[in-house]
Chains A and B, each alone.
Chain A
């Protein structure tokens, strides 16, 4: 090739106390999508942060279009057209879409913002990437997470963009929005923009990427043409061993009724939902983002107030009184929250403290902690779940997503819940830890616990669950038995609520925040 690659990285490395990235070399051509994948902690984020100028490498060199590229800061990299869309949204929710888009060069006259110019420019900007249906005068905080993500991406396309890094861009998107994003990516490719695309979702990578680069333990394992590999190959490269998903496992024998919900409602978010959950089964809840799945779990758990509806435990004829999470926990119900960082874990505190939070009675006597008991119990749980850490004294904030989630599981194992509500239990969890978590869920069901699991990953639900309930637009539209469902029938049910209503609202615009 006569032209130098858009970006060339040569033996890049980053060492904190131990190396997290070592000797990684790669090329990115203009107009190419390079998928970057690997387990959590494999070094994907580190590598992309080096490229985007967020952190300096401790070894190696980069060349951009053949010229030495040593960004000292994110701003530096952005000047050269290298931009990164961060996993955490960097938007300011109290400002409008237009203001967010133009934050560092707001058109002004004598210090006053020229709104007409601003909104017009923003409108053009949004239209150029196919987001003309979003009014630039809307406050970002009023948009659904999916739209916020799109605005975030749009912001990075303002001005000169030669290299775009997308880190898990579809985590919060509905499938419709994902299609839209992919269309934008195709346009960017035509413009000659090089894209580094990080994702756990392998099916997605196959649709969008030209080549795939796999990292493991901070090392470059392989880079392949996407057309030459299948998902199993990638998984093998990522974990270095075979992981089989058991799609054709028989249904677990269902036990007695553990929890029954009748007529659960809250505003328009959850409308008249009834379902029964049995001991020894995993019941999945599928649906689009904003279908009311998270909200349903929170209503059962007493985390939000319900307008109407009753809960019956263990086949009781009298409804259980669960007005708060405290009473839910005391009656044997646990919740693995959707967002473990803000709602699940105490990040600066050690594994030990996080794991015993829900059952402190087991490690205390008359109000005083029993450190020896606590250490013994947490060590046992940590070994059982295979939490990878230096010791149980390590702050959970330093663990990878998968290990953090194992700590959340440890908490509810410690509490010995009868009913476990799981909201996206494998979000942001790497494949190896995912398998451990599925195994743990399987054992819990085996032990007679009742599990209710929300997930946006249909393959996951189909492989793990005995039954799948589908929610659409706040209603429970159908419950499938194992063997009855296909990916197509589940999706059809998930969309049914939006089609029937006949309105043009997209799922994410009807989405409510949880607070």
Chain B
């Protein structure tokens, strides 16, 4: 079981315990960085760093929401399409109505939240598997994104650029936003009533209901939150392209789910960590960038990435088993 702080544990031991939870992921990251560094002389360069730092925010914010959805025992396949739809709507707001970026951000997140709300409300009301509902939403949102963009990449340009342009120390605002969201989500999961309820629902929904906790509004809120975060990811992605592309985010749901699962969140629900998810995102991004650096072809990249995902889940299973045997 998770190494949670015992009542009499000092701050030092609980900190060590917390780091211990992430040790495996950190070790994997260090090993990957060293491997790619030794294989390519260009790996330790500003460009690689920027590529990775630019890759991270959109995946990271979506993966945070996906972690919550997996924890309550659901899944959301529609996030890639929702990203494109939200970016398209935000693009219209900025280009046609000349709204400022911060309002466009609200529009994007609002659009995403509506999609997420529908996912949640439909699967909860009719007790449908979220896999099927969000598979439907994947098509609906993609279609809507085509309509909104008139099936063409809509150039946005300067208004949205700021999000992904480097600030002090070469870090973009999007990166800072992603880090803040990871931190807040970690607190929500570990310290809030909402987080406690999510874990409870993922562990045994019927027991939660019979304990007097209504799982339905909580589940709907979790899907809505993921939708909003996917909307945010959509506008972050469009800021890198400086355009709203109706084909943006195709397959993003798989990268996001892979990151979350590499981080050790259980697909069965009830167990997961936002910080571990962030490390999972790093693993995927470093792998992508590193493989590109050493000149791996697209097919090779995909084969290796796929193998890493499966290996990570097998490793996590053994880790979890040895943990439950110890206690």
Q: Name A residues whose Cβ lies closer than 8 Å to a Cβ of B.
A: 17, 301, 303, 324-326, 328-330, 334-335, 337, 342-350, 353, 357-358, 360, 364, 367-369, 371, 375, 379, 391-395, 398, 411, 415
Closest to B9 in A: A393
Query: Are A346 and B206 interface neighbours, CB within 8 A?
Result: no
Mask for B181-196, Cβ within 8 A of A = 1, else 0?
0000000000111111
**B interface residues, Cβ below 8 angstroms from A:** 1, 4, 6-7, 191-197, 199-200, 203-204, 206-214, 270-271, 326-327
Known: A326-B213, A375-B7, A398-B327. A360 touches B196 (CB 8 A): yes
Query: In the complex, what distance in Å separates the CA atom of A344 from the CA atom of B210?
Result: 7
Given A375-B7, A395-B1, A398-B327, decide whether A346 and B193 contact each other with a Cβ distance below 8 A.
no
Choose one: A325, A328, A347, A371; the contact of B204 (CB below 8 Å): A347
In the complex, the answer to whether A348 meets B203 with C-beta atoms within 8 Å is: yes
Whole-angstrom distance between the alpha carbons of A379 and B6 in the complex? 12
Is the beta-carbon distance between B1 and A348 smaller than 8 angstroms?
yes
In the complex, A346→B211 CA distance in Å? Answer: 11
Ranked 4 nearest A-B pairs via Cβ? A329-B212, A346-B203, A357-B211, A326-B214
A368 and B208 contact, CB distance less than 8 A: no
Distance in Å: Cβ of A327 to nearest Cβ of chain B: 9
Q: Are A349 and B193 in contact (CB under 8 A)?
A: no
B271 to chain A: which residues have CB within 8 Å? Answer: 348
Contact A346-B204, Cβ < 8 Å, known A303-B210, A375-B7, A391-B7: yes
Question: Which residue in A346, A364, A393 is a CB contact (below 8 Å) of B6?
Answer: A393
With known contacts A357-B200, A393-B4, A329–B211 Cβ distance under 8 A: yes
Contacts of A379 in B (CB 8 A): 7
Inter-chain contact A367/B193, CB cutoff 8 Å: yes
Given A346-B200, A349-B200, residue A325 in contact with residue B212 (CB < 8 A) = yes
Q: Known: A325-B212, A326-B214. Is A369-B193 also a contact (CB below 8 A)?
A: yes
Query: Could you pull out 22 A-B pairs where Cβ atoms are within 8 angstroms?
Result: A324-B209, A328-B212, A329-B211, A329-B212, A342-B204, A342-B206, A342-B207, A346-B203, A348-B203, A349-B203, A357-B200, A357-B208, A357-B212, A357-B213, A360-B196, A364-B192, A367-B193, A368-B192, A369-B193, A375-B7, A394-B327, A415-B212
- Specify which chain B residues have a CB less than 8 angstroms from the CB of A368 in the assembled complex: 191-193
How far does the Cβ of B249 sit from chain A's closest Cβ, in whole Å? 32
- Asked if B270 and A348 make an inter-chain contact with CB atoms under 8 angstroms apart, the answer reads yes
Nearest chain A CB to B6 CB, angstrom units:
6
Contacts of B270 in A (CB 8 A): 346, 348-349
Select from chain A the residue with minimum beta-carbon distance to B326: A17
The complex places the Cα of A372 from the Cα of B208 at a distance, in Å, of: 23
Assembled-state Cα–Cα distance A330/B197 (Å): 17
Q: A325-B212, A358-B212, A395-B1 are in contact. Are A346 and B192 (CB under 8 A)?
A: no
A346 touching B207, Cβ below 8 Å: yes
Which of A326, A345, A350 counts the most chain B CB atoms within 10 A?
A326
Q: Are B211 and A411 in contact (CB under 8 A)?
A: yes
Residue among B6, B193, B213, B271 facing the most chain A CB atoms (10 A cut-off) = B193
A residues within 8 A CB of B203?
346-349
Given contacts A343-B207, A346-B208, 5 further A-B contacts (CB under 8 A): A348-B270, A353-B200, A357-B213, A367-B193, A369-B191
Q: How far is the CA of A415 from the CA of B210 in the complex (A)?
A: 13
Find the residue from B7, B194, B200 having the highest chain A CB count within 10 A. B7
Shortest Cβ distance from residue A403 to the other chain B in the assembled complex, whole angstroms? 15
Q: With a CB–CB cut-off of 8 A, which chain B residues contact A391?
A: 6-7
Inside 8 A of A325's CB, which chain B residues have their CB? Answer: 209-212
**Complex CA distance for A17 and B209, rounded to whole angstroms:** 35
Instruction: Give chain A nearest CB distance to B235 CB in angstroms.
Output: 28
Query: Using Cβ atoms and an 8 Å threshold, which residues of chain B touch A358?
Result: 211-213
Output the nearest chain B residue to A415 by Cβ-Cβ distance: B212
CA distance A337 to B211 in the complex (A): 10
In the complex, chain A residues whose CB is within 8 Å of the CB of B326:
17
Provide the residues of chain A in CB contact with B197, threshold 8 Å. Answer: 360
